[in-house]
Chain A
Amino acid sequence: MDPIRRTLLGQLARLSAGAALIPLASAANAGINQQPPRREGDPTKRYGMLIDLRQCIGCQACTVSCHIENAAPLGSFRTTVSQYEVAHQETGDVATFMLPRLCNHCENPPCVPVCPVEATFQRQDGIVVVDSDRCVGCAYCVNACPYDARFINERTQTADKCTFCAHRLEAGLLPACVESCVGGARIIGDMRDPESQISRMIEEHRSELMVLQPEKNTLPQVFYLGMDERFITRPTAEPVALEVLDPHGQEMGYEFHH
C-alpha cells in the first residue's frame, strides 16, 4: 500500500473512531441489507472495548482464557493476538507488533442483516450475539465479517463469535480476556456512562484512537490506542508459516488438525 493512502486511511480510522461515539442513527441505507431492529440487552448501556497496545506484551493469556471460558473448539478463536515483526518506517529498527483481534461489536455490523433467520442480532447494549438454537449454519455471517471474528463451531455446527462474555458482564464480572490481561491492555465498559474508565480514556485519547478497516463503514466499537497505521487494513506482510520444515523437509511445527 502506498504511504499516502495509508495515511489517508489512518486519518479515516481516527475520524471514524470519533464519529462512532456519537450514537449514529445507523447509516440509513434504506432497503435490503439494512440493520434489523436491536433486541434484548440493556438499552441504557453501550459496551465497547479499548485496547491499549502500549500495554500488550503478546502473551496470549486472553486467547487462552477466552478459549477455556467459552469452550471454543481447538483451532478456532473468539479472540487472538496476531504478532508481526515490523521494521520502523524511518529508522529500520525491528520490533514486534501485537494486534489483539476480536469481534468489534460494530455500530453497523455487516454480519447481522445478512443472517437469513435473524439468529445473529445486536442487543440494545451493542453486543452482537448468535442464537445458536436458531442458527442454520449457512455461514453467510462468517463471510460477511471483514475481521475474521466469526467461525463455524465444529461442535455445534453453528456460527460462533465473541460476545464480550455477555454472560460474565451480566453477572458483574469482566470478560475472560480482560480479566486475564497481564498488562491491563483491554478495557471494557459502558460508553454511555461518562464516568466509566473506557469513556474517560476515549475522552483523553480521542485523537489517537483507531479502528480496523474504517473504510468498510462498519463503525467498529473496539478502539486501538498506540496503533500502527499499517495494520488497520489487511497487513502487507510475509504471511505466517503454518508449516515449519526442518532441513530435511520434515514438518517440525505442530498444528491442530480439525
Chain B
Amino acid sequence: MNSTIELLAPRYDIAWYPWAVQYFFMIALSYATLWLAAPALVFGRQTWLPTARLALLACLTTTLVAPVALLADLHQPLRFWHFYVHANGHSWMSIGSLVLPLYVTGVIVLAWLAWRPALQARRQAPGMVGFTARWLSLGNTPTPRALLVLVGLGTLVLSTGIMLYTGAEVAIVKARPLWHTVWLPPMFVATGFIAASGLILVLDRVAGERSTAVSRQMLKVMFGACLVAGLVAGSWFLDGINVSAGSVAAAMKSVRGSAEWRGTALWGGLTGLLLFGAVLYLITRPASRRPTLYAWAWLLGLVALHVGWMFRWVVLMDVQTVARHSAGFHHYGIPAGSSGILGIVGTFGLWLTAALLIDLLLPWRQAHQGGSAAELSTAPSTPAHPAPKSAAETTEGAPSHG
C-alpha cells in the first residue's frame, strides 16, 4: 500500500477555529468552578467558603467570556438569533443554544445573590464602589438563603446540561473517528475540573489570599480529577484496542503516521503523569510542611490550566487536520488575525478585564450564602484576611501582589 501516491487532492481548511477551543475551555472552567463554589454557597459547608469565593469569581468571569468566543466562532455571528427562531431539536448544538443562556443567567443571578449582602454593606462607600454597590444591591432587604440555594441547585442542574451538550456535540460526529467515542464527554469534564482547580490555585496566589486550606482542597480536587481522567483515558484505550475501526484505531493510525502526533501523545502523557505525581506528593506531605510547599502549588495550577487547554486544542484543532477521505494530514498554521492568535489572546484579555473590573468594583472576597449586610460583619466564616472596607483597599488583590 505504501506504493500508492496521492497526486492530486484539494487542501481542506479546518472549519472550527481556535475560538472553539476558547469556548470549550472557558465553559469548562465555568461549570467546574461552579461545582467548586457549590459546597459552601449552595450546601453551606463553611470550610469551603474561601475556595467558593475564588471559584465564584472564576465562574462568573469565564461564564461571561465563553459565549463571546462561541459567537465569534460563527461565520455569521449577527445571525445568532436564528438559533431561537429556527431551533432544531435534532441538533445538540441547538439544544446547547437553549441551555447556555439559561445557565449564564443562573450564574449571574447566583453571583449577585452571593455578593448582595456585601454590596449592601458598602452602599455608603465613596466613589465608583459605592455607586456600583447602591446600583446593584437593589435595596436593603436581606437575601434569603433558600433563594440562593434554589438558584444554585438550578444552575448546577443546567451546568450538567452544558457538560452533556458540549461533549455530545463533538462525540456524535462519526466523520471524525477520533471524536466519535463515548469517552470524550467525560474526558472534557475531567480535564475541565483539572483546569478549574488549577485556576483557583493560581487565583489564590494572585489575589493575595495564599490560603493553605484552599490549596489543599484544590489539590485534592485535582488529584481526583487526574484519577478520573486517567481512568477515562484507560477505558477509552482498552475499550477500543480490539476494534479495527473507531476512535482508538484512528488515534493509533495518526500516532503511527505523524511525528507531530507522536510528540503530542508523548507530551500529553508525560504532562499528565507529572501533574498527577506532583499533586500526589503535595497532598501526602505532613501538615507541618504544607504551608511552605503549598506556597508553590500555583505553579501546578499553571500546569493544570495547560493540560485543560491543550486537551481541547488537540481534540478540536489537531483532529481537524486528520484527512477524512484523502491521504495524510492537512497543514494548519495558526493565523495571526482574529480567527487565530489574536482571537486566543483576545479571549484571555477579555477574561482578565472582566476579572479586574469585578475585583475593582465588586466585593467578591465577601461572597456569602445570602443573609443581610449586618450578618456579614459578625459572620464566623469571614476569612483570615480582613474584608476590605474602603475603595482604596478594594484595589488590593491586583495581580501586583504575586
Residue positions of A touching B, CB distance < 8 A:
1-2, 5, 32-36, 58, 75-77, 80-87, 92, 94, 96, 101, 110, 113-119, 134-140, 142-148, 151-152, 157-158, 212-213, 215-218, 230, 233-240, 242, 255
Taking a contact as CB atoms under 8 Å apart, the answer to whether B11 and A75 are in contact is yes
Q: Determine how close the nearest CB of chain A comes to the CB of B338; give it in whole angstroms.
A: 13
Tell me the nearest residue of chain B to A228, going by C-beta: B4
Tell me the nearest residue of chain B to A101, going by C-beta: B325
Tell me the nearest residue of chain A to B180, going by C-beta: A216
Contact of A75 among B10, B76, B172 (CB under 8 A): B10
Q: Determine how close the nearest CB of chain A comes to the CB of B98; give it in whole angstroms.
A: 10
A18 to B96, CA, bound (A): 37
Residue positions of B touching A, CB distance < 8 A:
1-13, 15-16, 73-76, 79-80, 82-83, 86-97, 168-169, 172-176, 244-245, 320, 323-329, 331
Q: Determine how close the nearest CB of chain B comes to the CB of A10; give it in whole angstroms.
A: 14
Give chain A residues whose Cβ lies under 8 Å from the Cβ of B168. 32
A101 to B169, CA, bound (A): 27
Q: A116-B93, A157-B75, A235-B327 given as contacts; is B16 within 8 A of A134 (CB)?
A: no
Tell me the nearest residue of chain A to B7, going by C-beta: A83
Give chain A residues whose Cβ lies under 8 Å from the Cβ of B80. 136
Contact of A118 among B6, B12, B86, B320 (CB under 8 A): B86
Q: A32-B95, A33-B172, A116-B94 given as contacts; is B8 within 8 A of A152 (CB)?
A: no
Taking a contact as CB atoms under 8 Å apart, the answer to whether B327 and A140 are in contact is no
Q: A85-B7, A138-B93 given as contacts; is B327 within 8 A of A240 (CB)?
A: yes
A131 to B302, CA, bound (A): 45
A137 to B89, CA, bound (A): 18
A230 to B88, CA, bound (A): 37
Q: Determine how close the nearest CB of chain A comes to the CB of B385; give it in whole angstroms.
A: 45
Taking a contact as CB atoms under 8 Å apart, the answer to whether B90 and A32 are in contact is yes
Taking a contact as CB atoms under 8 Å apart, the answer to whether A80 and B83 are in contact is no
Contact of B6 among A5, A134, A213, A240 (CB under 8 A): A240
Q: A36-B88, A87-B4 given as contacts; is B75 within 8 A of A237 (CB)?
A: no
Q: List 28 A-B contacts (CB under 8 A).
A: A80-B10, A81-B8, A82-B9, A85-B7, A92-B3, A94-B3, A114-B90, A114-B93, A116-B87, A116-B96, A117-B94, A118-B88, A135-B76, A136-B74, A140-B91, A146-B175, A147-B324, A148-B325, A151-B12, A151-B13, A157-B75, A233-B325, A234-B325, A234-B326, A234-B327, A237-B6, A237-B328, A239-B326
Q: A140-B93, A143-B15, A148-B326 given as contacts; is B6 within 8 A of A239 (CB)?
A: yes
Q: A237-B6, A237-B327, A240-B327 given as contacts; is B15 within 8 A of A142 (CB)?
A: yes
Give chain B residues whose Cβ lies under 8 Å from the Cβ of A152. 13, 15, 75
A136 to B326, CA, bound (A): 28
A147 to B325, CA, bound (A): 6
Taking a contact as CB atoms under 8 Å apart, the answer to whether B92 and A32 are in contact is yes
Taking a contact as CB atoms under 8 Å apart, the answer to whether B82 and A134 are in contact is yes
Contact of B91 among A76, A116, A234 (CB under 8 A): A116
Taking a contact as CB atoms under 8 Å apart, the answer to whether B175 and A139 are in contact is no
Tell me the nearest residue of chain A to B250, going by C-beta: A234
A136 to B78, CA, bound (A): 8
Q: Determine how close the nearest CB of chain B comes to the CB of A87; give it in whole angstroms.
A: 4
Q: A33-B172, A136-B82, A144-B175 given as contacts; is B76 within 8 A of A240 (CB)?
A: no
Give chain B residues whose Cβ lies under 8 Å from the Cβ of A83. 6-9
Taking a contact as CB atoms under 8 Å apart, the answer to whether B174 and A216 are in contact is yes
Contact of A242 among B94, B325, B331 (CB under 8 A): B331
Taking a contact as CB atoms under 8 Å apart, the answer to whether B10 and A137 are in contact is no
Taking a contact as CB atoms under 8 Å apart, the answer to whether B79 and A136 are in contact is yes
Q: A147-B324, A234-B323, A240-B9 given as contacts; is B4 within 8 A of A35 (CB)?
A: no
Q: Determine how close the nearest CB of chain A comes to the CB of B207; give it in whole angstroms.
A: 36
Contact of A238 among B4, B16, B95, B325 (CB under 8 A): B4
Q: Determine how close the nearest CB of chain A comes to the CB of B25; give it in whole angstroms.
A: 18
Taking a contact as CB atoms under 8 Å apart, the answer to whether B74 and A1 are in contact is no
Tell me the nearest residue of chain B to A256, going by C-beta: B11
Taking a contact as CB atoms under 8 Å apart, the answer to whether B1 and A1 are in contact is yes
Q: Determine how close the nearest CB of chain B comes to the CB of A105; give it in whole angstroms.
A: 16
Contact of A110 among B5, B9, B169, B175 (CB under 8 A): B175
Give chain B residues whose Cβ lies under 8 Å from the Cβ of A101. 325
A230 to B6, CA, bound (A): 13
Give chain A residues whose Cβ lies under 8 Å from the Cβ of B175. 110, 143-147, 216
A237 to B326, CA, bound (A): 8
A118 to B91, CA, bound (A): 9
Tell me the nearest residue of chain B to A235, going by C-beta: B327
7 closest Cβ pairs, A-B complex = A137-B75, A239-B328, A139-B15, A146-B175, A142-B15, A116-B94, A237-B4
Taking a contact as CB atoms under 8 Å apart, the answer to whether A85 and B8 are in contact is no
Give chain B residues whose Cβ lies under 8 Å from the Cβ of A82. 6, 8-9, 326
Give chain A residues whose Cβ lies under 8 Å from the Cβ of B323. 234, 239
Taking a contact as CB atoms under 8 Å apart, the answer to whether A115 and B91 are in contact is yes
Contact of A84 among B4, B13, B87, B92 (CB under 8 A): B4
Q: Determine how close the nearest CB of chain B comes to the CB of A137; give it in whole angstroms.
A: 3
Tell me the nearest residue of chain B to A63, going by C-beta: B10
Give chain B residues whose Cβ lies under 8 Å from the Cβ of A115. 88, 91
Give chain B residues whose Cβ lies under 8 Å from the Cβ of A147. 175, 324-325
Given known contacts A116-B83, A142-B15, A213-B325, what 17 new A-B pairs fall within 8 Å (CB)? A33-B92, A34-B90, A80-B10, A83-B8, A86-B3, A110-B175, A114-B93, A139-B75, A148-B325, A152-B13, A157-B75, A234-B327, A235-B325, A238-B5, A238-B327, A239-B6, A240-B6
Tell me the nearest residue of chain B to A216, going by C-beta: B174
Q: Determine how close the nearest CB of chain B comes to the CB of A37; give it in whole angstroms.
A: 10
Give chain A residues whose Cβ lies under 8 Å from the Cβ of B89. 32
